[in-house]
With several copies, the nearest count.
Chain A
Amino acid sequence: MINKKVNNVQEALKGVTNGMTFMLGGFGLSGIPENAIAHLVTLGINQLTCISNNAGVDDFGLGLLLQKKQIKKMISSYVGENDEFERQMLSGELDVELIPQGTLAERCRAAQAGMPAIYTPAGYGTEVAEGKETREFDGKMYVLEHAFKADFAFVKAWKGDEAGNLIFKGTARNFNPNMCGAAKITVAEVEQMVPLGTLDPNQIHIPGIFVQRIFKGAVYEKRIEQLTLRQRD
Chain B
Amino acid sequence: MLDKNGIAKRIAKEVQDGFYVNLGIGIPTLVANYVRDDIEVEFQSENGVLGMGPFPYEGEEDADVINAGKQTITTLPGASFFDSAMSFSMIRGKHVDLTILGAMEVAETGDIANWKIPGKMVKGMGGAMDLVASAENIIVAMMHTNKRGESKLLKKCTLPLTGVGCVKKIVTNMAVIEVVEQGFKLLERAPGVSVEAIKQATEGHLIIEGTIPEMNI
Contacts and interface: CB of A to CB of B under 8 A. Distances in A.
Interface of A: 1-3, 27-31, 53, 76-81, 86, 89-90, 96, 98-106, 108-109, 111-115, 120-128, 158, 161-163, 165, 168-178, 181, 196-197, 201-202, 204-205, 207-210, 222-230, 232
Given A115-B92, A122-B129, A229 B64 contact: no
Chain A binding surface, main DSSP class: loop
Contacts of A170: 49, 62, 64-65, 81
Chain B binding surface, main DSSP class: loop
Contacts of B46: 101-102
A43 to B, nearest CB: 26
Contacts of A79: 122-124
A27 B82 CA distance: 13
A11 B77 CA distance: 25
Contacts of B92: 102, 113-115, 120-122
Interface size bucket, B side? 35 or more
Nearest to B44: A209
Given A173-B82, A207-B80, A209-B20, A89 B122 contact: yes
Interface string B123-152: 111111110011000000000000000000
A99 to B, nearest CB: 8
Contacts of B72: 224, 226-229
B14 to A, nearest CB: 17
A172 B64 contact: yes
Given A1-B51, A101-B88, A114-B134, A90 B57 contact: no
Contacts of A96: 122
B29 to A, nearest CB: 10
Closest 8 interchain pairs by CB? A197-B77, A102-B88, A114-B92, A125-B164, A102-B130, A163-B78, A113-B89, A114-B93
B198 interface: no
Interface string B94-114: 111000000000000001000
B200 interface: no
B8 to A, nearest CB: 16
A125 B89 contact: no
Contact of A128 (B61, B62, B78, B129): B129
B124 A80 contact: yes
A209 B65 contact: no
B83 A174 contact: yes
B93 A171 contact: no
Contacts of B69: 226
Interface stretch (B155-163, B167-175, B204-212): B155-163
Contact of B163 (A76, A112, A126, A177): A126
B95 A126 contact: no
A122 B130 contact: yes
A207 B50 contact: yes
The interface centre, meaning the residue of A28, A90, A174, A207 with most chain B CB atoms within 10 A of its CB, is A207
